[in-house]
Amino acid sequence: MNKINVLFKKDLQTIFRDRGTAILLFLFPIFIPLLILGIAYLELNFIEGEGEKEFHLALIGDEQSSELYYLFRSDTQVILHHNIAKEAIQTHIDQGDIDVAVVIEDGFKENIQNMQAANIYVYFRTQQTVQFPVQHVKAILTSFAKAKMSQRLDQLKIHENVFTPIHIKENDFASHQERSSQVTGLLLPLAFIFICWIAIMSIATEIGVGEKERGTLETLMATPVQKQDIFISKFLIIFLSGLWMAIMTLCSISLLGFLLYDMIPQAVMQMIEPLLQVSAILQIVLLIIPTSGLLAVLALSLSFWAKSIAQAGLLSGLVSVLIFPMIFMIAMLSVKLNTLTAFIPMANIIFACKEVAAGTMQPLFILEIYLSSCLIIWAIIHLCRIFMLQEKHLFSN
């Protein structure tokens, strides 16, 4: 145990000699939450601003409906254009002269008076995910259509409930936290596994294959130190680094949530709300521990197996490409944490994060996750002692 302690201190000094690693461990956990909250804040402000901006609309056939004309004319966000021919609509939209064109068909007025269906054509070009001008125009047209429907029903002396034989009234027993946990439960495991993996693979490359390239590992092997002690000490350093990164990021998000509670948009607060509860924070920390352990033993194994730092980076990228899409797909599954899924490595962490976000986590499942993770970590360490700690893997060619 004393030898592992000495090796641990030696690897710790190696890490903090590198300024980049120190920045990664201490500034990255603060920078990431600020970046995420900043992007979310700017995005929501952008959406809100876009929804209130004026836009150009060409209204063709307005003589068919004076009501529609006045609806669009009285709207403060609409800038009306009248001198545009129907055949030139696409040209004007492509050139950016107008955003939307509304064409009222010939005979519209007669069809409305005769209680028949009348057509209105809306022309636009999709350029972004949310089409604010198009949505605004559709809202005006929908309101107009409902008003005409009410007029027709009044003329026919028919109550609108005739066309609504039943009213479906939903009663959701899920709490507000459970409803808002859908997004949080999806993003939470992805974020913390990603943050853990960045720190863990960086440290594993530095004290694993990095020492092989520098030749310091060969010098270390010349001392009376067992190979498994070297592996265990490096595993502990890498494990604690990933754990530190994830916990610091969690604390930063929670602290920013408390300090900036009134400034953060409501949509963002709903996502980070579970992270503002002490019980949830403690449960997430308990889940980060086995996650960091699994990723640490995987990263160290790759680092010992790689022949160079470049190859270790390539392996890290390959593992990321394989793991993170799989994690995302697992997170999208509507599977709950139970006695069986609690023993599935990594998937149990994902399902458990959903339970924590919803406030329905059971302590027994955490114990099962720890048992499963410890067994896997022990098995990988045992295999590494047999295969990865061979001289052909420990020494750089």
Helices (H), the chain: 2-17, 19-26, 28-52, 66-74, 89-95, 108-113, 132-155, 176-207, 209-214, 216-221, 227-259, 266-272, 278-305, 309-332, 347-358, 363-386, 391-394
Least confident of 41-45, 252-256, 323-327: 41-45
- Over 50: is that where the pLDDT of 364 sits? yes
- Judge whether residue 333 has pLDDT over 50: yes
Most confidently modeled of 89-103, 194-208, 248-262?
89-103
Average pLDDT, the chain: 79
The yes-or-no verdict on residue 34 having pLDDT over 90 is no
Closest CA to 361 of 257, 287, 304, 263: 287
Give me 1's structure tokens: 């145990």
**Residue 58 clears pLDDT 80, i.e. is over it:** yes
Query: What pLDDT score was predicted for residue 180?
Result: 62
Whether 332 shows a pLDDT value over 90: the answer reads no
More confident residue, 330 or 391: 330
How high is the pLDDT of residue 141? 92
Q: Does residue 132 or residue 177 have the better pLDDT?
A: 132
- 8-24 confidence digits (pLDDT tens): 777 777 777 767 777 77
Position with higher pLDDT, 302 vs 221: 302
* pLDDT higher than threshold 90 for residue 389: no
Query: How much is the average pLDDT of 345-358?
Result: 80
Rounded distance between C-alpha atoms, residue 1 and residue 226, angstroms: 11
Give bridge partners of residue 120 from the DSSP assignment.
Answer: 104
Longest CA–CA span in the chain (Å) reads 100
Q: What is the mean pLDDT of residues 229-255?
A: 82
pLDDT band at 129 (very low <50, low <70, confident <90, very high): very low
3-state secondary structure of 57: strand
What is the predicted pLDDT for the residue at 103? Answer: 92
386 band by pLDDT with thresholds 50, 70 and 90: low
pLDDT of residue 267: 61
pTM above 0.75, yes or no: no
Compute the average pLDDT of residues 290-298: 85
pLDDT at 121 over 90: yes
Cβ-in-10-Å burial (0-12, 13-18, 19+) of 312 comes to buried
Whether residue 242 has pLDDT greater than 60: yes
pLDDT digits (tens, 9 = 90+) for 245-287: 888 888 877 777 676 666 666 666 666 666 667 777 788 888 8
**Per-residue pLDDT at 264:** 63
Domains along the chain with CATH numbers: 2-45+177-394 (no CATH), 53-163 (3.40.1710.10)
Q: Which of 115-119, 187-191, 243-247, 258-262 has the highest mean pLDDT?
A: 115-119
What pLDDT was estimated at residue 123? Answer: 92
